[in-house]
Chains A and B, each alone.
Chain A
Amino acid sequence: MAPIHAHTVLVVAAILFVLGLAGVLTRKNILFMLLSVEIMLNSAGLAFVAAGARWQQPDGQIMYLFILAMAAAEVSVALALVVQIHHQRKSLDIDQLKELKD
């Protein structure tokens, strides 16, 4: 199998990031927005791993572990919030959750 260029991986990571960002911006459902955020995190992780492989350094993989742990914690909190929001508002529509304004 031919070696994959770090360049190619970074392009994939960028595409993933933009997909995630587009999801955050366009989705109405909080759950899907959360998924989009996860995609963005993973794209960042992918970029780290690729960079680590490119320069033969362990730092990239360590950063990925950090991101993984952080993402797990974030998801646990966020899902709890989503459950609470659904419980109280019977809706997960982000456009209806606009009370926190000036």
Chain B
Amino acid sequence: MQQYLYLIPALPLAGFLVLSLAGRYLSRNFIAGIGAGSICISALITILLSARFLQSPPETGAYTQVLWHWFSVEGLVSNISLRVDSLSLVFICIITFIGALIHIYSIAFMREDRDYARFFASMNLFVCAMLMLVMADNLVLLYLGWEGVGLCSYLLIGFWYETPGNYRAANKAFVITRIGDTAMIIGLFLLFKELGTLYIPDVLARATQHFSSGADGVTLIAILLLCGGMGKSAQLPLQTWLPDAMAGPSPVSALIHAATMVTAGVYLIARMHTIFELSPVAMQITAIVGAVTLFVAGCSAMVQTDIKRILAYSTISQIGYMFLALGVGAWSAGIFHFFTHAFFKALLFLAAGAVIETLHHEHNIFKMGGLRKTMPVIFWTFTIGAAALAALPLVTAGFFSKDQILWYAWSAGGGHPVLWALALAGAFITALYSTRLILVVFWGEMKTTPGHLPSRVMTVPLVILAFFSVAAGWIEWPHNILHVDLFSEEVQHVLPATVLKEGLPAEIVFQLIAVVVSLIGIYSGYSLYYGQSPLLQQWKQSPTVMSVRDFFFSGWRFDQLYDALIVRPFLFITRINKSDISDKLYTAIANVSMLLNRQFSVTQNGSLRWYVTGVLIGILFIITLQLLL
């Protein structure tokens, strides 16, 4: 099985090459076949591979395959080589499996689009780059994948580049993630300087010997890597690009900006867990960033009106949970939340895409309504997704993963009551806006008449995802309810087990609080948005409530803040330095030469007599010199 490892990223790459080189000569069916087929075969191979991996785990804990030698410079040896351990396996499964479903969905979703081949080419390239990111055995190759997914994200956000403003969203996403990338590459340089290797197993092994716990060097490296993760995973303060990234087609939002790429930061931190464990400060920062982000983004999600922006903010908020879990040292809980979140968030985006498509590209949820009867499949799958997002107890996957994080936010080694309180507030807000979304979109009276209903090619992936949004949680139960921990057992081959604090109340107390809070959230959403709520009308009159709402709506004014702090001063500097001071010397040289040229070219006036005079004067000059000297 090990020798087929390379096929998993190679097939999407082949798909990309065929579609980008020959796409314009192929029929639509053929393009769809190649685009979706390559990912589906990758997914099949992955499933076979994981079955083999789980049945008879390799002795070293990982499948490895060295494809070829890339380069070696001054002791830095980089190979194009793959390494799949249980952490990578989780990511590969999600990427290929959800990727395959989203590609199948896209066959119908993008059917009418002019650039069918370009879409599938970019999507295939994205899957390839993302697989390289998670399968790389050294950090250089990981960085290649890291930049590759950034590029594809840029290409796909700006996919409809003719719509005004989309290119701006694409640029914003690229530039802001670039800030994180720069921090990350500096972190990699430092890591190489300190440890002399970027081969991941060696890095992790040497780090414990080289650094003492809490040393400045390792803290700096961990914080720089965290900044890289914050950029890619849209965490505070680099989160502003993700809501705008919704300019891309819905399948892109589902795959890249919800299920996979934005969790690259989570993967990076989990992969480098030894470095982070050596630095308690960096762990604390990770947890705080996650907790603050989940709260801030949750508040914004609560008041948005664009269906995709609601989901975008909720993605930021859910990734905040993952960061929180990683930060407090609940490694497997963070990865488990990634696992369940990928299913229900992809489901929500795809269902939202179907709704938007059916309602003639209407994004505003308050112009939807009453779709429960007309689109039953979409309604049920969307409801399951939203229930998972709201962590409806025991029946949804979201509950199992989020409950763990809430419990560990206090009880794990790095946990703190404040983190727990923020996470709990986030859980309440999540339940509230999920309910709001369902009620506003699917209940009430119909405000826009639906067009073509989505075909079966689109609904079948939704049903499969809905099944997993429920079932994916069953492989890991809370310890006190049922002793099933397939997921954490597997992941803990790679990641350290969570250390618990002593002397805390029983886990069941926390679980009950979490359950009650999310139920209250759902009930508040129900009482506010089911029918006409007098409280809501009252709020709409009150200027204080409305100004708070506007504040949340603009994403806590982060865009304006960055505009005032960075963009405008930068533009100001460029304006005063338009003629570029450092260029003055070079333009001066050019100007002097031009002046001399003008002076001398006057002498070339075409008159023979003038030239003869010149020769004569020259001769006289030379003779005079001879006589004098």
Q: Does B604 contact A (CB under 8 A)?
A: yes
- A25 with B613: CB separation less than 8 A: yes
How far is A21 from B609 in the complex, measured between Cα atoms in Å?
A: 11
Report the minimal beta-carbon distance from A28 to chain B, rounded to whole angstroms: 9
Q: Which A residue's beta carbon lies closest to that of B604?
A: A102
Q: Does B601 contact A (CB under 8 A)?
A: yes
Q: Does A94 contact B (CB under 8 A)?
A: yes
Please provide the chain B residues from 607 to 622 with a CB less than 8 Å away from any CB of chain A in the complex. 607-609, 612-613, 616
When the two chains form the complex, which single residue of B601, B608, B612, B613 contacts A102, counting CB atoms closer than 8 Å? B601
- B609 with A94: CB separation less than 8 A: yes
* Residues of chain A within 8 A of B604, CB atoms compared: 101-102
* Residues of chain B within 8 A of A99, CB atoms compared: 606
User: Interface extent on B, as a size class?
Assistant: 10 to 19
How far is A25 from B609 in the complex, measured between Cα atoms in Å?
A: 6
- B606 with A101: CB separation less than 8 A: yes
* Residues of chain A within 8 A of B607, CB atoms compared: 94-95, 98, 101
- B606 with A98: CB separation less than 8 A: yes
Interface majority SS on B: helix, strand, loop or mixed? helix
When the two chains form the complex, which single residue of B601, B608, B616 contacts A97, counting CB atoms closer than 8 Å? B608
Count of chain A residues with Cβ under 8 Å from any Cβ of B?
12
Report the minimal beta-carbon distance from A30 to chain B, rounded to whole angstroms: 9
Q: Does B605 contact A (CB under 8 A)?
A: yes
Chain A, 61-96, contact with B by CB distance < 8 Å: what is the 0/1 string? 000000000000000000000000000000000110
Please provide the chain B residues from 570 to 629 with a CB less than 8 Å away from any CB of chain A in the complex. 601-602, 604-609, 612-613, 616
When the two chains form the complex, which single residue of B601, B602, B608, B616 contacts A94, counting CB atoms closer than 8 Å? B608
Q: Does A19 contact B (CB under 8 A)?
A: no
Kindly name the residue among B602, B605, B608, B612 whose own CB sees the greatest number of chain A CB atoms within 10 A: B608
* Residues of chain A within 8 A of B609, CB atoms compared: 24-25, 94
* Residues of chain A within 8 A of B613, CB atoms compared: 25
Q: A24-B612, A33-B608, A98-B606 are in contact. List 10 more A-B contacts (CB 8 A).
A: A21-B616, A25-B612, A25-B613, A94-B607, A97-B606, A98-B605, A101-B604, A101-B606, A102-B602, A102-B605
Residues of A whose CB lies within 8 Å of any CB of B are 21, 24-25, 33, 94-95, 97-102
19 interchain pairs (CB within 8 A)? Answer: A21-B616, A24-B609, A25-B609, A25-B613, A25-B616, A94-B607, A94-B608, A94-B609, A97-B606, A97-B608, A98-B605, A98-B606, A98-B607, A100-B606, A101-B605, A101-B606, A101-B607, A102-B601, A102-B605
